[in-house]
Structure 1
Amino acid sequence: MRAQWIKAFTPLSLNIPPKQWLRAASGAFLGVLASVLCSHFFFGSQIAMSLAAPIGASAVLLFVTSATPLAHPWSILAGNLLSAVIGVFCALYLEETGFRAAAAVSLAIISMLALRCLHPPSCAVALVVTLNPNLHALGFAVLIPVVSQTLVLLCVALGFNNLTGTAYPRLATPAPKNIHNTADPLPIARTGFNEEDLDKALNEFGTYVDVRREDLEDLLRLTEQHTFKRRTEHLTAVSIMSRDLRTGHPEMPIEEAWIRLKEHRLKALPVVDQHRRLVGIITLVDLLKYFELDAPISRFHRLRYLRNKRLKHIMTTPVISVNFDTPLVELVSLLTDRGLHYMPVIDEHRQLAGIITQTDLIAALYRGWLSQVQ
């Protein structure tokens, strides 16, 4: 127990790549420099230097951990403004210095939590406004330099982070659209955790988690995918694909493709060129569209209509395909959430080597499940 307690004080992994260190430091340099210089120019050196410390702390969040809720634009703007107001009130109505400082920090924390704008450096704003005579002597006019410095730092963060490849503010990943336009969740999400499960877990965890809820959900789903990939790493496209294929060519008449699909009880026909390179795919649904005529006509005219079309006129191109070593986890996503029913497999020369259907996928998942329970 003592060893575990001591271990709790050891450094934690921040998961920040070294290449991000220089980027964050450069952004913080520009942000603090611009904020202090602007404040010095408009409000004088005393006010600029008095508010420099909270700005420096805010720069760490905005440029190093910009994806956290603590660094959100609303957090820094509302947090600094609210804390400055609290600092002025404490300076006006509380006499004892230590009590005034403690009250300013505690009231700032409660207020920021209530308004969902928690920003730790804002507590420093409340402190310096409360304790610094040059600041609290200004009364509520101190809000002008506080907001000005905050806006300058925020503008630099918005420009620098986005120009250097770090989205700020971080947008929530849009939920994949159900291709059937129904309210059902995507197939891959029906057997995993849902939003209600995540909310219950966060409530039971019982403490603040410094990560956006949307990012946490994405992280957990990625963890699920990597776990599944590790457990099924022996199953790839080459191990589950069908190899004895029936194909068409671009000049093949539609009625010939129809006969081939019907004869072999197939629902999709890959289209290849003379070098067996995949150039398109035609499905039973694609062919059935050409039987849907507005006016009823004779069977003879219907067949004559079909003979005017060839596969190159109606095939789907380009074709979404996979290669031999595509893992099972990617095939699951393509053949469920993307709504695809057939997945051609190509070699390094883009020649058709096989095809994977949803039936092949179900069989592979069943074999994978058996290997885990045995």
Structure 2
Amino acid sequence: MMYCRIKDVMTHEVVRAHGETPFKAVARLLSGNRISGLPVVNDEEKVVGVISETDLLQHQAHQTEGYGSRRVRRPKLTRSARTAAAKARATTADHLMTRPAVTATPEHYVTEAARIMREHGVERLPVVDDKDRLVGIVTRGDLLRVFLRTDEEIRREVSRRVALGLDVPRYVVDVAVDEGVVTLRGHLERHDAVGLAVRIAGHVDGVVGVVSRLTHRPTSARTRSVVGAPGHM
């Protein structure tokens, strides 16, 4: 199986909460399903926010804050600190969740999902349709499944994509894969084709790294053949 898009790796049955879901009910959903976060949806199943274990822990920390300690003057709260304080007092999912939710679509590539997670510092993405309705969820663990592809699966896809991208027969570029590391061997006509082959291989899901053993015709040799050809006066 090729894990190229989110729809191939996402979980379709999603544990979710609604805005009015009580704090303790949210905690039970997370604990009972052994998950670290969940989306919050409205009556139309549109995603309106996301709750993580961190949000619940902020509430717990607020409950115990001040016990056994002296009162101290606190600096003026920043926006993020005010948000955390509000979550600490939350009694329902509506006040506990982070909004707006960072989401993805089923057609996003898993590499795009990984980039979105990294940029926003999140561990899961609710997956929504074209009307923003919840259809699944993808986690970091789901994305890591692409690295469980066998070397042979990776080799076949790299060989196919490189041949297609360079418009050459597959035998022109020999592809070997060992523990996800791709090695390319062969002789190409152009120098830029070497770089293109490496880029194509590197974008295949499951590839850990690319080693190029590709060679190409010298540029000067191609120039001489063109300049010295009949009819080019």
Query: Which TM-score band (shorter chain)?
Result: 0.5 to 0.7
Q: Could you give the per-residue CA deviations for residues 108-153 of structure 1, whole angstroms, max 9, x where no partner exists? A: xxxxxxxxxxxxxxxxxxxxxxxxxxxxxxxxxxxxxxxxxxxxxx
Identity of aligned residues (%): 25
Distance 1:349 1:248 in 2: 19
Distance 2:90 2:38 in 1: 19
Say if 2:15 is the partner of 1:246: yes
Point out where structure 1 has 5 or more consecutive residues left out of the alignment. Answer: 1-231, 298-305
How does 1:9-158 map onto structure 2 within 5 Å?
A: none
Specify the code of the residue in structure 1 equivalent to 2:96: I
How does 1:1-374 map onto structure 2 within 5 Å?
A: 235-292=4-61, 293-296=64-67, 309-367=91-149, 371-373=153-155
CA-based RMSD: 2.3
Specify the code of the residue in structure 2 equivalent to 1:343: L
Q: Could you give the per-residue CA deviations for residues 280-322 of structure 1, whole angstroms, max 9, x where no partner exists? A: 110011111000031349xxxxxxxx89611111211111111
Aligned residues: 134
Structure 1 residues 242 and 368, CA gap change in structure 2 (3 angstroms): farther
Specify the code of the residue in structure 2 equivalent to 1:319: A
Secondary structure at the aligned position of 2:149 is classed as helix
Distance 1:309 1:368 in 2: 47
Structure 1 residues 252 and 337, CA gap change in structure 2 (3 angstroms): same
Distance 1:349 1:368 in 2: 36
Contact residue 40 and residue 50 of structure 2 kept, 8 A: yes
Determine the structure 1 residue equivalent to 2:216: none
Secondary structure at the aligned position of 2:130 is classed as coil
Distance 1:265 1:312 in 2: 21
Deviation (angstroms), 1:337: 4.7
Contact residue 90 and residue 96 of structure 2 kept, 8 A: no
Determine the structure 1 residue equivalent to 2:166: none
Contact residue 254 and residue 307 of structure 1 kept, 8 A: no
Contact residue 255 and residue 307 of structure 1 kept, 8 A: no
Structure 1 residues 370 and 278, CA gap change in structure 2 (3 angstroms): farther
Distance 2:143 2:29 in 1: 24
Q: Could you give the per-residue CA deviations for residues 152-178 of structure 1, whole angstroms, max 9, x where no partner exists? A: xxxxxxxxxxxxxxxxxxxxxxxxxxx
Contact residue 21 and residue 92 of structure 2 kept, 8 A: yes
Contact residue 254 and residue 311 of structure 1 kept, 8 A: yes
Contact residue 253 and residue 307 of structure 1 kept, 8 A: no
Distance 1:369 1:271 in 2: 39
Higher strand share: 2
Distance 1:264 1:370 in 2: 35
The structure whose Rg is larger is 1
Distance 1:308 1:372 in 2: 48
Structure 1 residues 244 and 368, CA gap change in structure 2 (3 angstroms): farther
Secondary structure at the aligned position of 2:14 is classed as coil
Q: Could you give the per-residue CA deviations for residues 346-374 of structure 1, whole angstroms, max 9, x where no partner exists? A: 01111100110010000123328652136
Distance 1:354 1:369 in 2: 29
Specify the code of the residue in structure 1 equivalent to 2:10: M
Distance 2:149 2:118 in 1: 18
Point out where structure 2 has 5 or more consecutive residues left out of the alignment. Answer: 69-87, 157-233
Higher helix share: 1
Specify the code of the residue in structure 2 equivalent to 1:267: S
Specify the code of the residue in structure 2 equivalent to 1:246: V
Distance 2:8 2:145 in 1: 11
Specify the code of the residue in structure 1 equivalent to 2:102: I
Structure 1 residues 243 and 250, CA gap change in structure 2 (3 angstroms): same
**Whose relative contact order is higher, 1 or 2, with alpha carbons under 8 Å and at least 6 apart?**
2
